[in-house]
């Protein structure tokens, strides 16, 4: 303790301060983060105990000073009497050699890491003594009515703030799959990394005082985090890559959670972590926002449009040989796209836009010159209010754009061959708060297809309901397939139906291409052309067998095959095009943890078993647990159909319901996942 000489007497009244971390942190629902440091939520009182060598002298006063900001540039004087909701204040109860202090913070004060000092003042206001500065963390408080992130539903808060495990949805709209993800927002030091991310934002580096004051606003904080999760403009966390070349980093499919990524970024001195794709960006953003106290959930939009020219059309261009000539264009439809939603009031907007806000940390387009998107009120998207900030027009097109397909002829002329208004924005999904299953939230983003309300919204957004010229032709085209399993051969059936009264000759071209989940072509697998005559009122079936020999070498890490069929009747100018994305089913790892009772810090053995489903040998296989590189303790390769059993030992660090996530990657097979759920007890 500092002592001061005053009036020829040495005062040393202050002996120490007890931050009462256990009591406060449990009351503020931060006990899972830490019990050694003080972590509290704004708008909710917390208590401190000041130990003194003697009772405080009569008429002497206590004063409290707070410093906030990297250099303590923001100074707050805490009043020593009850004050309004917009001021910090404390009350004290003196009991012999101890003073119990109850500190009240405003519900709209900046979040951050505060430094707190207590002063002893003489009756005439001179400083006689002061405590060593103590640190505490102040977070958003969704349990507090006056906080702009207030969410009045305990079940929702249990999921959207307190749940450290979740599901990210992937696959395709008609074959949805889920990826378990460890958010880990209460893991050791994650809260420090979250504030480190804010401190490394361009605004914080340029003008720390203004940035610190702005951290009272969840709109500002969430927009900053959205920009900082990707490393495109700044000292952001994750570098995005989609071209399959990940040798100088970690393949996006290998991550099983956010914590390893955040720690790697922090330990390297705010150096970007290679590599992520949309679900990784959304998983990391969800961790940071939940940790800071903003209710957040990951969201997946299926058949998500990336409309760069803002015309609400995504244009696919093919030549007459059905080869894509869209290269270089950025308009595309992603099989799925992940973002997050955060719950907050929008005091910066007219009434009616509070609640869920879409935030998209994947670097797609610049917003105010920076790669970020949101917060955008989900209600603004549903109602076609595309002028609302931030980025409502972009999110509106992600869930509403038309898919227009063109044939480009050698002379440069184009012919529009299909227009689909129902493809984009399907089965918008998040994990249910009631368990590990999917909740469909499409109705929050758009009105039912074909409804009057939908038409009104389109017109408000400046988009017409467009029609292809002419009525339906007499030929119809459908593509069917059985469930496809990676490593096997499987059939795709293209059906041509003649609904007219005359036999019709036609040309059919079918191609299969390996693509990524965001529509980048990795190579053509097979191609078939056929001249056929379809009898009136009958159907012709063309069967294409997709062989692993053909697709195995070029299939992307997302294990996705796109089959495109183009049909042109000899007597008619119209061309019909149909396309399906076929996700290839993946094997799973079987993870079994030995022992009935699991305790914190006690060594456990996990048995992981895996069968190579491919007709080829796998080389360079690596098993990863929670991002920590644990390699298989066996040398050599895994032959076709061969069973592998691996033992891994680990020690749980925290009690509660925990999930052990394991990933396997090899040269020709990636993103194989397994999970075991444990109940860990304190000893």
- For the annotated catalytic residues, the residue numbers are 278, 337, 360
Q: Which two three-digit tokens encode residue 523?
A: 């190579």
Give the span between the Cα atoms of 179 and 169, in whole angstroms.
6
DSSP characters for 543-574?
A: EEEEPHHHHTTT--TT-EEEEEEEEEETT-S-
- Separation in Å, CA 619 to CA 23, 613, 631: 53, 14, 13
Residues 6+ apart with CB under 8 A from 252: 241, 246, 275, 276, 277, 279, 280, 557
Residue burial 487-513, b: 16+ Cβ < 10 Å; e: rest: beebebebbbebeeeeebebebbbbbb
Give the span between the Cα atoms of 15 and 350, in whole angstroms.
52
Give the span between the Cα atoms of 254 and 489, in whole angstroms.
26
Task: Please state the φ and ψ torsions of residue 49, each to the nearest 5 degrees.
Answer: -120, 120
Strands in 108-202 per DSSP E: 112-121, 127-130, 134-139, 165-172, 175-182
Closest listed residue to residue 401, CA positions, set 529, 304, 299: 304
Q: Which two three-digit tokens encode residue 366?
A: 């610049």
Give CA 21 to chain center in angstroms.
Answer: 31
DSSP code for 365: S
Q: Are 299 and 379 spatial neighbours (Cβ–Cβ below 8 Å)?
A: no
Q: Are 668 and 656 spatial neighbours (Cβ–Cβ below 8 Å)?
A: no
Long-range contacts of 573-576 (CB under 8 A, 24+ apart): 573/415, 574/417, 574/470, 574/473, 575/407, 575/415, 575/417, 576/417, 576/418, 576/473, 576/475, 576/476, 576/477
């Amino acid at each position: 303790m500092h002592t001061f000489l005053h009036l020829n007497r040495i005062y040393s009244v202050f002996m120490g301060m007890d931050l009462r971390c256990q009591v406060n942190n449990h009351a503020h629902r931060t006990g899972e983060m830490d019990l050694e440091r003080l972590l509290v939520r704004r708008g909710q009182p917390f208590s401190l105990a000041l130990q003194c060598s003697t009772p405080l002298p009569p008429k002497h006063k206590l004063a409290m000073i707070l410093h906030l900001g990297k250099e303590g540039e923001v100074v707050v004087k805490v009043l020593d009497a009850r004050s309004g909701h917009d001021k910090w204040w404390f009350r004290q109860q003196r009991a012999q050699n101890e003073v119990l202090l109850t500190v009240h913070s405003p519900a709209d004060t900046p979040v951050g890491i505060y430094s707190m000092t207590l002063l002893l003042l003489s009756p005439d206001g001179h400083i006689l003594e002061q405590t060593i500065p103590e640190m505490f963390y102040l977070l958003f408080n969704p349990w507090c009515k006056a906080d702009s992130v207030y969410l009045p539903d305990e079940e929702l808060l249990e999921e959207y703030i307190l749940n450290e495990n979740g599901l990210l949805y992937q696959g395709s709209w008609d074959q949805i799959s889920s990826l378990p993800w460890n958010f880990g927002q209460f893991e050791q030091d994650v809260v420090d990394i979250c504030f480190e991310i804010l401190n490394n934002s361009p605004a914080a580096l340029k003008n720390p005082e203004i940035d610190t004051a702005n951290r009272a606003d969840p709109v500002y904080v969430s927009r900053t985090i959205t920009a900082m999760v990707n490393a495109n403009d700044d000292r952001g966390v994750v570098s995005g890559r989609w071209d399959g070349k990940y040798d100088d980093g970690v393949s996006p499919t290998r991550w099983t959670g956010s914590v390893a990524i955040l720690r790697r970024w922090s330990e390297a001195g705010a150096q970007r972590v290679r590599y992520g794709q949309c679900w990784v960006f959304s998983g990391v953003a969800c961790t940071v926002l939940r940790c800071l106290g903003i209710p957040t959930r990951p969201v997946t939009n299926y058949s998500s449009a990336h409309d760069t020219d803002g015309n609400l059309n995504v244009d696919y261009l093919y030549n007459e040989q059905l080869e894509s000539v869209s290269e270089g264009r950025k308009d595309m439809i992603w099989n799925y796209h992940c973002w997050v939603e955060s719950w907050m009031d929008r005091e910066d907007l007219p009434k009616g836009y509070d609640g869920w806000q879409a935030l998209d940390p994947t670097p797609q387009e610049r917003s105010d010159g920076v790669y970020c998107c949101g917060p955008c009120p989900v209600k603004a998207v549903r109602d076609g209010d595309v002028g609302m900030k931030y980025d409502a027009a972009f999110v509106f097109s992600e869930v509403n754009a038309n898919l227009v397909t063109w044939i480009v002829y050698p002379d440069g002329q184009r012919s529009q061959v299909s227009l689909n208004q129902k493809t984009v924005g399907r089965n918008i999904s998040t994990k249910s708060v009631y368990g590990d299953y999917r909740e469909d939230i499409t109705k929050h983003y758009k009105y039912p297809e074909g409804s009057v309300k939908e038409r009104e919204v389109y017109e408000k957004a400046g988009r017409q309901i467009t029609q292809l010229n002419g009525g339906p032709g007499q030929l119809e085209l459908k593509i069917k397939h059985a469930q496809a399993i990676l490593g096997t051969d499987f059939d795709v059936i293209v059906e041509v139906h003649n609904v007219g009264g005359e036999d019709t000759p036609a040309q059919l071209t079918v191609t299969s291409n390996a693509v990524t989940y965001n529509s980048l072509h990795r190579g053509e697998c097979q191609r078939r052309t056929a001249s056929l005559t379809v009898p009136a009122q009958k159907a012709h079936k063309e069967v294409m067998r997709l062989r692993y020999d053909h697709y195995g070498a070029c299939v992307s890490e997302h294990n996705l095959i796109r089959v495109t069929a183009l049909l042109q009747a000899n007597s008619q100018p119209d061309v019909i095009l149909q396309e399906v994305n076929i996700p290839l089913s993946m094997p799973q790892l079987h993870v079994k943890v030995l022992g009935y009772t699991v305790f914190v810090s006690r060594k456990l053995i996990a048995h992981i078993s895996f069968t190579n489903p491919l007709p080829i040998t796998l080389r360079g296989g690596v098993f990863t647990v929670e991002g920590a590189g644990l390699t298989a303790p066996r040398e050599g390769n895994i032959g076709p159909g061969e069973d592998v059993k691996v033992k891994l030992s680990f020690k749980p660090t925290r009690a509660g319901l925990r999930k052990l996530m394991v990933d396997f990657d090899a040269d020709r097979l990636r993103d194989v996942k397994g999970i075991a759920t444990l109940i860990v007890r304190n000893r």
